[in-house]
Amino acid sequence: MSSAPPLKPDYVSATIHKDFYYNQAVESPTLIKEYGNIEKILVNAQYLACITIQIPMLHKIEYQYGSQVYNKLLGEVTQLLKEVKQGEFRDSDIFLVDLFDVDTFIFFLTPPRDQTTLLLDHLEQITERTRVSIDQRTFNLFYPYTKTHTKPAVGCAMVIKNPMINNIRQITRLVSHSKNMGEFLATRHNFHSKYTLQKLIIQQDIQTVFQPIVDMQSLNAIGYEALSRGPADTEFASPLLLFVLAEEFGLSFELDTLCRRKAFERAKELESDTKIFVNTLTMTIHDPEFRGKYLEELLHDLKIKPHNVVFEINEKLAIDNYDLFRDSMKDYSDIGIVQASDDIGNGYSDLERIMELNPGYMKLDIALVRNIHHSYIKQQIVQAMVSLARGIGSQIIAEGIEQPGEYLSLRELGVDYGQGYLFGRPTQDLQPADSSWLATVDQQSEAGHDVQLGK
């Protein structure tokens, strides 16, 4: 009977749970599995560097949505980081998941093959490139669950081999220092982002783009929604992230005021009978510097007819006092400005808002529009909304129409107006609505073929 091979010095034979060795959920090794290779780098190079990525919101998502959603997102983050490894790291660099903090991932870096290249000179650059590579994608991944900007804490650290200290202590201390650095860099980046947004607002570095809103029967543009974009080379290029960060930094009022002013300045390019839909927060409706006589004079100077202005009230911030809100809106309605309730169907006290405000327009949220031609329930809800709108003298606008099938279904249900990529993307120039796709739909119908309702 053959005996087992002798163990190396400092090694013992033991049975441990497999997840301590290799995390099956994310298909990645732990420090225990890779410790020998990591220690070898430290001993041979006499120093060791690592980069850590912490995803602080993951544990909250597990608590709110359960382990199934948590494991799904954890797997997607892992896949994202493996893609980053292929683009930003060497094949010999070691990627693993933290043993006890599974929301943290670690890259242990191997020394450059070229002795003239010092890892120290590039460590911070690699760390920043890693942060930039994952920042927007993690935001897109987590925002549907958190409704906030989930910022990965990406840090780095280096340790010099000290023969007086145990190797494993040096390695675990290295990881700890990298996590601390990640939290520090995330805080620093947060302050820098706030400063950049403040600078953007002061310098009025906001671009207004227009997306057509069309009559569902004629497909002619009856107006345009004015949308705001930050500078293309910054994180504020994403309109969603722009306003999410403004809310986090306490700058929503300032940004909203600027966007509204810039929209009016661009609106003077519209034809005289074309409506402009301008987004505004509930809080800015109360702005004393943008009501009554001042606004009337501004619109007169810009040659904009007040009855062609529609304020889309963004309802993500609740209206706490409808009496005060109606009093403030009177200053706008008295000069002819119309109010629209935005995102109807998005889960925020929609019926109460309609009852209290009686809006001139009701904009259906994209959640009701998406694939409505395949959903009987959505069709019934929209049909009820159309009936309600007609009963109170309001008009329906469906947002986010991307497929001919959605358009055909909404038109059949009696929706008045539509908006979405099917008719045109937001552009800086005032483009007419695109209806070229309709000819293909009509030809298919005349030929007796099933209309292709997908994109």
User: Among the CATH numbers 3.20.20.450, 3.30.390.10, 3.40.50.2000, 3.40.50.720, which is that of 204-446?
Assistant: 3.20.20.450
3-state helix/strand/coil string of 235-282:
HHHCHHHHHHHHHHCCCHHHHHHHHHHHHHHHHCCCCCCCEEEEEEEC
Determine the pLDDT at residue 9: 66
Per-residue pLDDT at 352 exceeds 80:
no
Determine the pLDDT at residue 454: 39
The answer to whether the beta carbons of residues 78 and 27 sit under 8 Å apart is yes
pTM of the model: 0.82
Give the type of residue at 244: V
Determine the pLDDT at residue 325: 77
Rounded distance between C-alpha atoms, residue 342 and residue 331, angstroms = 20
Strand order in the sheet with 153-160: 94-97, 104-109, 47-54, 153-160
Determine the pLDDT at residue 452: 44
Least confident range from 214-223, 249-258, 289-298, 429-438: namely 289-298
What are the angstrom distances between the C-alpha of 53 and each of 103, 203, 244? 8, 34, 22
Least confident range from 92-96, 117-121, 147-151, 274-278: namely 117-121
26 pLDDT tier (thresholds 50, 70, 90): confident
Determine the pLDDT at residue 295: 78
pLDDT digits (tens, 9 = 90+) for 226-237: 999 999 888 898
14 pLDDT tier (thresholds 50, 70, 90): low
User: How wide is the angle at C-alpha 373 spanned by C-alphas 372 and 379, nearest 5°?
Assistant: 55
Least confident range from 133-137, 207-211, 264-268: namely 264-268
Delimit the domains of the chain by residue range: 18-194, 204-446
Q: Is the dihedral of CA 243, 244, 247, 251 positive or negative?
A: negative
What's the chain's average pLDDT? Answer: 85
11 pLDDT tier (thresholds 50, 70, 90): low
For tokens 């998502």, name the residue.
Answer: 61
Class of domain 18-194: alpha beta
Least confident range from 81-90, 109-118, 173-182: namely 109-118
pLDDT digits (tens, 9 = 90+) for 130-159: 999 999 899 999 998 988 888 899 999 999
113 pLDDT tier (thresholds 50, 70, 90): low
Determine the pLDDT at residue 431: 82
Determine the pLDDT at residue 118: 62
Mean pLDDT on 333-358? 72
Determine the pLDDT at residue 444: 56
Least confident range from 69-73, 275-279, 303-307, 325-329: namely 325-329
